[in-house]
Amino acid sequence: MVMLDWFIRLRNLHPTVKLSVFHLNHQTRPGENEADEDLVRNVCGGHQIPFFGRTWTRKSTTGNFQNEARKVRLDLLNQISGEVQADWICTAHHADDTAETSLYRLLTGASLINLGPMKPVNGRGLKPLLAYSKPDLHAWAAENGISWREDSSNLGDDYLRNQLRHHLVPVLNSLFGYRWEASLKHLAAESNAASAFLSEAFEDWKKKAVISTDDGWKIEIDLNSLYVESLLVFFLNQAIVTLTGKPFGLKKAGDLKAWLSSGKAARQIHSDWVARRVQGGILLIRKATTPVWTAWHVTVTPAQKPAARQKNSLSVSADRSRVKEPLSVRFRKPGDRFRPLGMNQEQKLSDFFINRKVERTLRDQVPLVTDRDGQIIWVGGYEISDTVKETGQTTEWVHLKLESHEKN
Q: What is the pLDDT of residue 59?
A: 67
CA distance 393 to 321: 10
Do 123 and 347 contact (CB within 8 A), yes or no?
Answer: yes
Is the per-residue pLDDT at 276 higher than 90? Answer: no
Q: What is the pLDDT of residue 139?
A: 95
Tell me the pLDDT of the chain averaged across its residues.
Answer: 84
* Contact residues for 142 (Cβ-Cβ < 8 A; gap 6+): none
By the 10 Å C-beta count (0-12 exposed, 13-18 middle, 19+ buried), 120 is classed as middle
Give the domains, in start order, of the chain with CATH numbers.
Answer: 2-175 (3.40.50.620), 213-286 (no CATH), 294-406 (3.50.40.10)
Mean pLDDT across 191-212: 86
Mean pLDDT across 26-51: 92
Whether pTM exceeds 0.75: no
Q: What is the DSSP letter of 165?
A: I
Q: What is the DSSP letter of 372?
A: T
Dihedral sign from CA coordinates of 358, 361, 367, 371: positive
In tens, the pLDDT along 292-329 reads 445 788 899 998 777 766 655 788 899 999 999 889 99
Mean pLDDT across 331-353: 90
Lowest model confidence (mean pLDDT) among 54-63, 152-161, 304-313, 372-381? 304-313
Identity at 230, one-letter amino acid code: S
Q: Tell me how crowded residue 405 is: count the other CB atoms within 10 A of its CB.
A: 9
Q: What is the pLDDT of residue 361?
A: 65
Cis, bond preceding 326 (omega within 30 deg of 0): yes
Q: What is the pLDDT of residue 336?
A: 92
In tens, the pLDDT along 109-156 reads 666 666 766 788 888 889 999 889 889 999 999 999 999 888 888 888
Q: What is the pLDDT of residue 60?
A: 63
Is beta strand 397-406 parallel, antiparallel or unpaired with respect to 294-303? Answer: antiparallel
pLDDT band at 228 (very low <50, low <70, confident <90, very high): low
User: What is the percent of the chain where pLDDT is above 90?
Assistant: 27
Mean pLDDT across 37-66: 85
Lowest model confidence (mean pLDDT) among 131-145, 302-316, 332-346, 367-381? 302-316
CA distance 137 to 92: 10
Buried b / exposed e along 61-99 (16+ C-beta atoms within 10 A): eeeeeeebeeeebeebbbebbeeeebeebbbebbbbbbb
Three-state secondary structure call for residue 193: helix
Q: Could you give the C-alpha distances from 50 to 4, 228, 229, 313, in angstroms and in order? A: 12, 53, 53, 28
Is the per-residue pLDDT at 100 higher than 80? Answer: yes
Q: What is the pLDDT of residue 200?
A: 87
Rg (CA), the chain: 25
Is the per-residue pLDDT at 287 higher than 80? Answer: no
Q: What is the DSSP letter of 378?
A: E
* Contact residues for 91 (Cβ-Cβ < 8 A; gap 6+): 125, 126, 127
Do 77 and 29 contact (CB within 8 A), yes or no?
Answer: no
Q: What is the pLDDT of residue 293?
A: 46
Is the per-residue pLDDT at 290 higher than 70? Answer: no
pLDDT band at 62 (very low <50, low <70, confident <90, very high): low
pLDDT band at 408 (very low <50, low <70, confident <90, very high): very low
- Between residues 362 and 273, the one the model is more confident about: 273
pLDDT band at 348 (very low <50, low <70, confident <90, very high): very high
pLDDT band at 185 (very low <50, low <70, confident <90, very high): confident
CA distance 19 to 251: 44
Q: What is the pLDDT of residue 356?
A: 85
Q: What is the pLDDT of residue 311?
A: 58
CA distance 360 to 260: 26
